[in-house]
Amino acid sequence: MDIITNPEMADAAPTPHQPPVIRREDYKPFPWLLPVTRLNFELGVETTRVTSTLSVERNPAGDASPTITLNGDGISALTIRIDGKQTSEWTMDGGNLLLPLPGASHEIEIVTEIDPSANSQLMGLYASNGMLCTQCEAEGFRRITFFPDRPDVLSTYTVRMTGSQDQFPVLLCNGNKSAEGVGENGTHWAEWHDPWPKPSYLFALVAGDLVVNRGSFTTMSGREVELAIYVRDGDLDRTGHAMASLIKSMKWDEETFGREYDLDVFNIVAVSDFNMGAMENKGLNVFNTKYVLADPDTATDGDFDGVEGVIAHEYFHNWSGNRITCRDWFQLSLKEGFTVLRDQLFSQDMQGEAVKRIEDVRILRSVQFPEDSGPLAHPIRPDSFREISNFYTSTVYNKGAEVIRMMRTMCGPEAFRKGTDLYFDRHDGEAATCEDFILAMEEGAGLDLTQFRLWYSQAGTPKVDIAMAHDGDTATLTVKQTVPPTADLADKLPMPIPLKIALFNRETGKHEGEHLIVLNAAEQTFEFGGFAQPPVLSVNRGFSAPISIERDVPDEDLVFLAAKDDDSFARYEAMQDLIVRHLTAASGGALDDSAREAARMAIAQAFGSILSDDALDDSMRGELVMLPGLTYLAEQQLIADPAAIHTEREGLKAWLGARFESELVLIHQRVSKLPFGLDSASRGARKIKTQVLVYLAAGNPELASKMAAAQYNAADNMTDRQGALMVLTGLGTAARTDKLIDFHRRYKGNELVVDKWFALQASSLHPHAIEHVKALAEHPDFTMRNPNRVRSLYMAFAANPQAFHAADGEGYKIIADLILALDPINPQTAARFVPSLGRWRRIEPARAAMMRAELERIAKSDSLSRDTFEQVTRSLG
């Protein structure tokens, strides 16, 4: 009987095979308020004793109920006291504890004991390299103590921790430290108080032997905040970038959103065993080491950006997530979509808008679009789930950000700020809903979002079909939209779609200004006068809407835009379109040799103009020449043949590599002369350098192998070194083995770099990648207990199109075996591998049958976790 379980489900008696479905429409306020929570931890890696004291009062907004239900998961109560008196009048309902509470207010004291060393799920309190840390979002707090573990129950926490001074010299918790002291038998203690009422998912505790990088920040109202980044001994000199990113984030949020920090300290702790990227616990963010540690020798430019973006993201949650939290988990996008948008806007301001926008769209299209067109499709505000961990998805995060970005596009940045000001003002201190956010936007930003609300309830990527006619001096656009059916809903309504467009004059290569048109019906026409000749249409500029566009446009228009469009995203898009159209046709068997040659010539024309355009910076050049990924290409076809797409894609790469060999070599020589730096010119140089090698590796493997080995040897930074090794790993030359051995030896013991070593081999183009993955699973450095390591081998492999989709089904079997082996250890991470097999309906029949068979094999296991059960069932259903 979970509090928000649909009562109708009660007779459908959930078995271990059928965990209950939780529905958004069943939300009810919790019948009790918990103004004050006190926790006492007696810490030990094998035994930690937790005493929690809850003062509870009836919630006037809740049902009158003579009992209180406290969530628990895998814990049992040693003693329970109500109002100071020990009681045995309690019952269990599954993992939950039911206590009779006759009065209007009570004090409950519960003692539990847990074994952090046995916690391999990494939810609740767990041990990582001898340190203790917690992860409570979404429902981990109930693994520590019995509690109403739901985001709408806000309480102020006072926490006392006692533990061995040797083992845990550092004791951290949310809020500010209020007292500390030395105890008996080599122990010490600390007491922390967090003045801000918060839900249990934002609770955090860390105890360990850590070193610290300290900084400070003065807020806009002049308050001094102590900043601290805690890491393991030896990692300190890799924390500078994280500290700089934190300070920039704090400043930016004041300037851009008017948000000021609200505690005396802001602590970050890096842990190497972590299921996700990082966690925004109030005043005590816990991070995967991957998003804290960076220096030029061990981290790529992409890693540096990742640190900056995730530090910003978690910091921004202090307002969008913590000060205003979610009423229930169906509202997850309220905090995640909005915070992703905030971190994207921040990174755009730090690194440049053009490239950042392209990178964000690439992630959306390669991860979220497939999710939205597959069996796991769900709206950004889902209506039901069995296991909330499965809904920390690209849809909730990235599409959620796009939806709020569209609001911003429609009203402009100033009005948008008025809307967010009103939202923060109105709901500060509350657990809010997506609807609350929408209402604040309507009122504050002056938008009418009546129809726009459909973006919150309809899943599926809208398809927009655009045709242009020209008559006299008028260009007429006819635009049609359809929202495809998804498993949850077949018939969809048209949604408001803001499209930024420009019409280029073919002769002058210029346009008269950008237009914003907002579609709101299934079919519409828009007229534009003043065009003696048919203009060239540039559409969805800046990717103003998360849709896919179909339009019948001649290659020459795309070549024109790829060379001339002044909107960087649209320019990139023209190049992508040109290539996508060709590869889709070619891999579908629709092209004879001469048609293939003609299409390649058009691509070469655009490609050449990009290589030789002196006005382009190398960073943008690197984006423009990047081939669309296989997942995105497969997404364009109803039923895809991964092998055919891969062959055509490699064929095009080799053809371009050979055709532009001398130009590419010259670029490599030019940029290799630049000294290392973190400025955008040097970063651009490194990006294009490896792109050059990628093309040459396909066109002239011998030459590429030599150049890559030289780049590897000369590298004074990880970007160049990893780029070179990536290219070598895909080739069969002697340098491959050499450099792989060298890399491992050089970085032995550095977990994050060893992760790269695994990932490079698992994602390589080498024909024997499958054998390599099997061997790496037996490597002494491999372990199923560390999520980063598991992902570095198997996520990389599942995203390796040619190896994963091996014709004999071996790739599918490897991932299914992994899911079965990982599920009992870490279900949350295991379930994240299911979507790769879940794509079976969109793959050609022979492979689809094998993928489905592997899913069925997993489904047969009678001990599946809720996480994996839900994902496998949905994928087969």
Site for Zn ion, rule CB under 5 A? 336, 339
- Six token digits for residue 774: 């099997």
- Six token digits for residue 831: 């379930």
435 in Cβ contact with 331 (< 8 Å)? no
Residue 235 CB, nearest distance to ligand PHE (Å)? Answer: 21
Is-catalytic flag, 109? no
Single residue of 149, 336, 402, 823 touching ligand PHE by CB under 6 A: 336
288 in Cβ contact with 271 (< 8 Å)? yes
Total Cβ atoms within 10 A of residue 853: 15
Residue 285 CB, nearest distance to ligand PHE (Å)? Answer: 9
- Six token digits for residue 866: 């809720």
Segment interacting with ligand PHE (CB under 6 A) among 273-281, 406-414, 622-630, 742-750? 273-281
Q: Does 314 bind ligand PHE (CB under 6 A)?
A: yes
Which CB atom, from 434 or from 475, has the smaller least distance to Zn ion?
Answer: 434
Which CB atom, from 347 or from 544, has the smaller least distance to Zn ion?
Answer: 347
Which CB atom, from 278 or from 770, has the smaller least distance to ligand PHE?
Answer: 278
Residue 127 CA, chain-centre distance (Å), reads 25
Minimal CB distance to ligand PHE: which residue?
Answer: 276
Residue 76 CB, nearest distance to ligand PHE (Å)? Answer: 25
Contacts 24+ apart (CB under 8 A), 396-400: 396/332, 396/333, 396/336, 396/337, 397/333, 397/336, 397/337, 397/340, 398/340, 398/360, 398/363, 398/364, 398/367, 398/368, 399/337, 399/364, 399/368, 399/372, 399/546, 400/333, 400/336, 400/337, 400/338, 400/340
789 binds, among Zn ion, ligand PHE, none (CB under 5 to 8 A by kind): none
580 in Cβ contact with 636 (< 8 Å)? yes
Which CB atom, from 274 or from 456, has the smaller least distance to ligand PHE?
Answer: 274
| DSSP secondary structure letters along 770-785 | HHHHHHHHTSTT--TT
Residue 159 CB, nearest distance to ligand PHE (Å)? Answer: 20
137 binds, among ligand PHE, Zn ion, none (CB under 5 to 8 A by kind): ligand PHE
| Residue 695 to residues 354, 380, 703, Cα–Cα distance (Å) | 23, 38, 11
Single residue of 152, 191, 253, 280 touching ligand PHE by CB under 6 A: 280
751 binds, among ligand PHE, Zn ion, none (CB under 5 to 8 A by kind): none
127-146 residues in contact with ligand PHE (CB under 6 A) are 135, 137-138
The active-site residue out of 314, 336, 442, 573 is 314
Exposed/middle/buried for 46, CB within 10 Å: 0-12, 13-18, 19+?
exposed
Which CB atom, from 168 or from 392, has the smaller least distance to ligand PHE?
Answer: 392
Q: Does 371 bind ligand PHE (CB under 6 A)?
A: no
135 binds, among Zn ion, ligand PHE, none (CB under 5 to 8 A by kind): ligand PHE
Single residue of 75, 144, 210, 276 touching ligand PHE by CB under 6 A: 276
Starting at the edge strand that comes first in sequence, how are the strands of the sheet with 32-42 ordered?
A: 85-86, 77-82, 105-114, 48-58, 32-42, 155-164, 187-198, 176-182
> What does DSSP say about strands 32-42 and 48-58: parallel, antiparallel, or unpaired?
antiparallel
424 in Cβ contact with 361 (< 8 Å)? no
739-758 residues in contact with ligand PHE (CB under 6 A) are none
Which CB atom, from 139 or from 635, has the smaller least distance to ligand PHE?
Answer: 139
Residue 615 CB, nearest distance to ligand PHE (Å)? Answer: 38
Which CB atom, from 238 or from 313, has the smaller least distance to ligand PHE?
Answer: 313
Residue 866 CB, nearest distance to ligand PHE (Å)? Answer: 15
Single residue of 231, 279, 793, 834 touching ligand PHE by CB under 6 A: 279
- Measure the CA–CA gap between 572 and 621, rounded to whole angstroms: 9
Segment interacting with ligand PHE (CB under 6 A) among 2-10, 311-319, 677-685, 781-789? 311-319
Q: Where are the alpha helices (DSSP H) in 660-790?
A: 661-672, 680-699, 701-714, 718-729, 734-746, 751-762, 769-777, 787-790
Residue 246 CB, nearest distance to ligand PHE (Å)? Answer: 15
| Residue type at 459 in one-letter notation | A
Q: Does 641 bind ligand PHE (CB under 6 A)?
A: no
Catalytic residues: 314
